[in-house]
Structure 1
């Protein structure tokens, strides 16, 4: 039984004595452990397990103390929801229910996926709220998608580009010591993550309302040094841009091309 851990010592031979056995039984009642320790253990399982939902459900059914521990907000906040994508295909209603409960507990990954799910199903206002919540908790891909969505809308309405830059500030404000190569690698990694989630959630492709207006500077966007093409076709050449908005318009075009 999970609520009780028993340790017993088997028979041991004493020196110079035969047939003499000794045993020591010690019982530790899990119900006597502090609740915060039980919550920490449960949250660790939710974070590290390859099948977090099944493990948490089984733990919840084991006994009352773990049932109470699994109900803690920290468990929902730590749930590795990105490992439960198969549930999206098998039981989408349950998948969304899990996402909503975890998002309500402050899980940024759940808010991110739920936000894109809402956005892809034409519930834009709700989707942006979830994405904003994830972005405020430091979720890089959520900030990236907020910027891409705002840039997408800015092609139809003037002034939106500046708002997009504010939402993409977590990338553009990278420390100078990190260097452009590290910034490009981070950008490519976040782009791949965003594209992967979008492809899982919808088969519809984004279409540009119209191509971004070309920059008046003839050198803007020119390749400074050619890089070898990545195995997934996601290589990034070193280009020079006259402004952050030109750089992000180029990134927007790459994102649209990938999805």
Structure 2
């Protein structure tokens, strides 16, 4: 015969093993929030008007409002899809860029880094923002940072590594002598970087156009055809990292000097 006490004990033990309704609900809410954040990230990354669509999303419900404010969502917004806002609502665009920097958005960090360096001559904070963008995979940021580091004797090797990161030949660098270098991606990133500098400096007053002074570099190239454009692609083939970065430094800063105000005392 089973006693009433034993039945009650079994029932109590079973109840203790069963998860509470509150715990189950909390777990489901966590999963739902992650899913909603994923949806918001997709909208941010693919929408033709990401800011407008995210604002509309936030207005739908509390769950969407919370998800759209997550840093991961802000990190996915491509600023190239905000060209209309940049020219028609420039103050709002700048405010959005500064806000997205807080989310470590690579495009925003790149723009702020370029502005700090080429407008405000801030060589402490500017490179930090470029490095943050480059670490997130922003090739144009890695390109500019690599060229800036090339100016310094102590950081020249690091600058070459950033340019290798742009071209994606980090692994090939270990192959040793005889490995050719191209500047396919460098050419694309150079145009992006030149446009960014021009957009950042167009309001800066003063006579523009400085003289370019190349960094002192003991590297002397003796290879025939090094840097000569190859075929219809327009990119060059280089014998070494040193020749490639020297070429890119000259190309980029020759153009950028046209946008910077000239000062005879600098």
TM-score (norm 2): 0.68
Distance 2:53 2:129 in 1: 26
Give the corresponding residue for 2:100.
102
Change (3 A) 1:32 1:136: closer
Work out whether 1:174 is the aligned partner of 2:164. Answer: no
In the TM superposition, residue 208 of structure 1 has moved relative to its aligned partner by: 4.8
Deviations 1:94-123 (A, max 9, x none): 222222322222322221122112223215
Aligned match of 2:52: 54
Cα distance, 1:136 vs structure 2: 2.0
What does residue range 81-230 of structure 1 map to in structure 2 within 5 Å?
81-124=79-122, 125-151=124-150, 153-154=151-152, 158-171=153-166, 173-176=169-172, 180=180, 183-203=182-202, 207-213=210-216, 217=220, 219=222, 222-223=225-226, 227-228=230-231
The 1:213–1:115 alpha-carbon spacing in structure 2 relative to 1, beyond 3 Å, is closer
- In structure 1, the partner of 2:264 is none
- CA positional deviation for 1:137: 2.0
Q: Once the 2 structures are TM-superposed, how far is the Cα of residue 248 of structure 1 from its aligned partner?
A: 1.0
| Contact 2:106–2:136 (Cα < 8 Å) also in 1 | yes
Work out the number of aligned pairs and report it: 218
Could you say which residue in structure 2 is the equivalent of 1:63?
61
| Equivalence for 1:254 | 251
Q: Label 1:218 to 1:45 Cα distance change in 2 as closer, same or farther (>3 A).
A: closer
Q: Answer yes or no: is the 8 Å Cα contact 1:119–1:127 preserved in 2.
A: yes
Deviation of the 1:164 alpha carbon: 2.6
Cα displacement (A) at 1:250: 1.4
Question: Structure 2 unaligned runs (5+)?
Answer: 1-28, 257-266
The structural deviation recorded for 1:258 is 4.0
* CA shift for structure 1 position 41: 0.9
Structure 1 unaligned spans of 5+ = 1-30
Which string of whole-angstrom CA distances, capped at 9 and with x for unpartnered residues, describes residues 102-151 of structure 1? 22223222211221122232152322221111122222211111112233
Kept in 2, the 8 Å contact 1:38–1:66? The answer is yes
- Whole-Å Cα distance in 2 between the matches of residues 191 and 71 of structure 1? 33
Write 1 or 2 for the structure with the bigger share of helix.
2
Preserved CA contact (<8 Å) 2:227 2:247: no
> Higher relative contact order at CA 8 Å, sep ≥6: structure 1 or structure 2?
2
Q: Note closer, same or farther for the CA distance 1:206–1:53 as it changes in structure 2 (3 Å cut).
A: farther
TM-score by length of 1: 0.69
Over the aligned positions, Cα root-mean-square deviation in angstroms equals: 3.3
Q: In terms of mean alpha carbon deviation, does 162-171 or 51-60 score higher?
A: 162-171
Q: Cα–Cα, structure 1 residues 248 and 75, in superposed 2: closer, same or farther, change >3 Å?
A: same
